[in-house]
Structure 1
Amino acid sequence: MSVQILFLPDEVTVEAEVGEPLLQVAKRAGVTIPTGCLMGSCHACEVEIDGEETICSCISGVPAGKEQISVNIYVDPTW
């Protein structure tokens, strides 16, 4: 199943498959998500999904159950 991903704040849209690694989708779309450990421990890659929940994009795939999601990339000033 295909999901339309909208990366904010740059408003870049790309199609992705359910379960596809979110970092891979972002890279394919030309969007940079900051990373650190790549294991979900440091939270440098944390993004907000649909303005509701935050996830570590390095260990998360495109979620099922929606035709479209927005991924808000914000930069933690600590990093």
Structure 2
Amino acid sequence: MMIKLVNENSDVDTIFNGKNAIEKLLFLSKTDPGHLTDYIFSDINMPVMIECGFLTEYDDFKIDHLKTTHFYV
């Protein structure tokens, strides 16, 4: 992955659909809120849950109440 090539100390997770991403982010927000993701790179046509649904649920669940995560679609 290109990010690892630029900064080998990066912690990168790859999740292949929006539903699993929401589940992972909810888990992190409850168990380790200090380690929420800084960046989310996403496809508009994600399987299981498209980008609009993902962003709506992300906002509805108030996963990142400080609004520090940057989204790239």
Is the TM value for this pair above 0.5? no
Instruction: Report the TM range for the smaller structure's normalisation.
Output: under 0.3
TM-score under structure 1 length normalisation = 0.27
TM-score under structure 2 length normalisation = 0.28
Higher helix share: 2
Between structure 1 and structure 2, the one with the greater Rg is 2
